[in-house]
């Protein structure tokens, strides 16, 4: 079982991360979150990501452990960036590996849904006009996470 959890300002190498998971797997599924170029109707200059050091890693490890119990996985990688990220940059990578596709596809969807509502990260949008706004939580994210219960 491969498990990698990281919270870091640096970018990740998607190819290298997926290659690391593919050893002894039948398939690898992944989700990559990327900074959008807009905040609704305004142009976005950057996203600022803050987290709760210690609790974040603990929450991500718990999610990975639950996914490993629920699906037959051979590997699980979660990398979440923090700090100031500009449009087009990677925010998060969730990837899982399994013998057959159904497990990896479901586990990856589960993990990103859980991460959105159960990991202590907060985003602020830095707009091109100089204003900064904290992003509000979305009810649809909460509903998506609960649908797995």
Partner 1 sequence: MRILYFAWLREKIGHGEEIFTPPASVTTPRQLIACLRQRGGFYAAAFTNEALIRCAIGQEFQPLDTPLGTAEEIAFFPPVTGG
Should residue 11 be labelled a site residue for partner 1 when binding is judged by CB under 8 A?
A: no
CB of 98 to partner 1, least distance (A): 22
Among 44, 87, 117, 128, binds partner 1 (CB under 8 A): 117
CB of 26 to partner 1, least distance (A): 27
**Among 93, 15, 82, CA closest to 49:** 82
Should residue 92 be labelled a site residue for partner 1 when binding is judged by CB under 8 A?
A: yes
Size of the residue set binding partner 1 (CB under 8 A): 27
d(CA 36, CA 41): 12
Among 124, 127, 128, 148, binds partner 1 (CB under 8 A): 124
Number of C-beta neighbours around residue 1 at 10 A: 10
d(CA 77, CA 137): 24
**Among 74, 77, 50, 72, CA closest to 61:** 77
Q: Which residues bind partner 1 (CB under 8 A)?
A: 33, 49-52, 54-55, 58, 80, 91-92, 112, 115-124, 134-137, 141
């Amino acid at each position: 079982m491969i498990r990698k959890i990281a919270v870091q300002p640096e970018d990740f190498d998607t190819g290298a991360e997926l290659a690391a998971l593919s050893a002894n797997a039948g398939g690898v599924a992944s989700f990559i979150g990327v900074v959008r170029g807009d905040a609704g109707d305004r142009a976005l200059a950057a996203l600022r990501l803050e987290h709760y050091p210690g609790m974040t890693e603990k929450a991500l490890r718990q999610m990975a452990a639950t996914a490993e119990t629920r699906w037959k996985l051979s590997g699980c990688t979660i990398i979440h960036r923090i700090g100031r990220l500009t449009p087009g940059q990677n925010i998060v990578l969730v990837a899982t590996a399994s013998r057959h596709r159904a497990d990896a596809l479901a586990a990856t969807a589960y993990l990103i849904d859980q991460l959105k509502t159960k990991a202590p990260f907060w985003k602020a949008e830095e707009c091109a006009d100089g204003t900064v706004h904290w992003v509000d939580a979305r009810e649809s994210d909460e509903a998506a996470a609960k649908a797995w219960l």
